[in-house]
Amino acid sequence: MTDPVTRRAAFRALHEDGCFVMPNPWDIGTARYLAALGFPALATTSSGYAFSRALPDTDWAVPRDAMLAHIAEIAAATDLPVNADFESGYAHDPAGVAANVTLCVATGVAGLSIEDATGDPAKPLYDRGHAVERIRAAREAIDATGADVLLTGRCEAYLTGHPTPLDESVARLRAYAEAGADVLYAPGPKSRAEIRTIVEAVAPRPVNLLVSTNAGLKVADIAALGVRRISVGSSLARTAWTGFIRAATRIRDEGSFAGFDGSVGFADLNGFFRKDLEGR
């Protein structure tokens, strides 16, 4: 197994130029399969994991220690660098965020993200100044460990229904960069114009783009907009759930097993994991 120092250096190098896809597994099996496909890095998905535990993807529905154990499991599953979806840091105050970020770094991740959603529908985003202090606390906590872990500052303006999500995202992401975020991320924009605006606003910091639907943009198109990193969030997990739900529903409603058509064969999956186990 490649040591964390090597993986962290490789992860930082990925952000220096070009554009790469960092897909999101939700368990060890999907992590190892994605690694075998040749992706250069992986990221955890809080929602993908929550759904597998019969929990919603709301702040802290998955307890902090359970999430840390999951992140550590994914980080240890392959030789690839892993970025942790660490939600809002499992604390409201900067000191609590710092303490929890220190625990997250100890899992062996190469990067982690901190978002600014409060989980409170009445006030969905932390005040901008407070959000900046939380990013600054995360940065200082990472630096104190001596680990070369990339910090992603994440703005949830689009996902929480802010009235002017693009303007708010740009303002916050710029502030997060000044507070020490290495990578900037505002999940939600889909138009080329909005994506390009965010990229140019925070340059030269790299930008992560979430691709959660097939909006017609391919990797080459996204790279041409200046995006450095692409993640897919819960999309792969939801794709798997879609097949499961459709097949199970057809059995119940139609007495039909046609939902199994086109499925990957047992021998294919079993053969992959047999070979994978032998190679470890």
**What is the tens place of the pLDDT at every residue in 175-212?**
999 999 999 999 999 999 999 999 999 999 999 999 99
pLDDT-derived band at 59, boundaries 50, 70, 90: confident
Let me know whether 207 and 72 are in one domain: yes
Q: Return d(Cα 228, Cα 39) in angstroms, integer.
A: 14
Q: Return d(Cα 120, Cα 125) in angstroms, integer.
A: 8
**Residue 47 corresponds to which tokens in the numbers above?**
């929602």
pLDDT in tens, 90-139: 999 999 999 999 999 999 999 999 999 999 999 999 999 999 999 999 99
Long-range contacts of 91-94 (CB under 8 A, 24+ apart): 92/118, 92/126, 94/130, 94/133, 94/134, 94/136, 94/137
Let me know whether 91 and 228 are in one domain: yes
Domain count along the chain: 2
Let me know whether 167 and 38 are in one domain: yes
Let me know whether 273 and 150 are in one domain: no
Let me know whether 87 and 171 are in one domain: yes
Let me know whether 25 and 160 are in one domain: yes
Let me know whether 62 and 162 are in one domain: yes
Q: Other CB atoms closer than 10 Å to residue 231's CB: what's the count?
A: 24
Domain that holds residue 240: 235-280
Q: Kindly state the DSSP code that residue 190 receives in the 8-state scheme.
A: -
Percent of the chain with pLDDT over 70: 100
pLDDT-derived band at 149, boundaries 50, 70, 90: very high
Q: What is the pLDDT of residue 1?
A: 82
Let me know whether 183 and 271 are in one domain: no
- Nearest 5°: phi and psi at 21? -100, 130
Give ∠ CA 13-74-16 in degrees, rounded to 5. 10
Let me know whether 23 and 161 are in one domain: yes
Q: What is the pLDDT of residue 99?
A: 98
Let me know whether 184 and 49 are in one domain: yes
pLDDT in tens, 209-238: 999 999 999 999 999 999 999 999 999 999
